[in-house]
A = this chain, B = another copy of it.
Amino acid sequence: MHSLPQLLGANICALRLQKNLLQDGLALLCGLDRSYMGRIERGEVNITVETLYQIAEALGCEPAPVLPLKNEVISSKS
């Protein structure tokens, strides 16, 4: 069980590697900064849905497969 941004970042990283892309390359496709893409993959930031769609578009898939299931996510509520 990890935080939502961490799981999301791990999924993005895995999908990126499947496409043999570098963080640089993916960031370019998304229209995002290289260093910001790194932070996303490390789960350091909580992205918006628009950013999610940009990434899904660049990865050539729907946003859904990028998202972890609810029960994989550490609940932020007590």
Cα–Cα, bound, A70→B50 (Å): 11
When distances are taken between beta carbons in the complex, the residues of chain B under 8 Å from A46 are 48-50
Once A63-B70, A70-B63 are accepted as A-B contacts, the answer to whether A49 and B50 lie under 8 Å apart by CB is no
Cα–Cα, bound, A49→B56 (Å): 13
Give the contact-size bracket for chain A: 20 to 34
When distances are taken between beta carbons in the complex, the residues of chain B under 8 Å from A31 are 77
Query: Is the pair A70, B49 in contact by a Cβ cutoff of 8 Å?
Result: no
Query: Is the pair B48, A70 in contact by a Cβ cutoff of 8 Å?
Result: no
- Interface residues in chain A, defined as those with a beta carbon under 8 Å from any beta carbon in chain B: 4-5, 8, 31, 46-50, 52-53, 56-57, 62-64, 67, 69-70, 73, 76-77
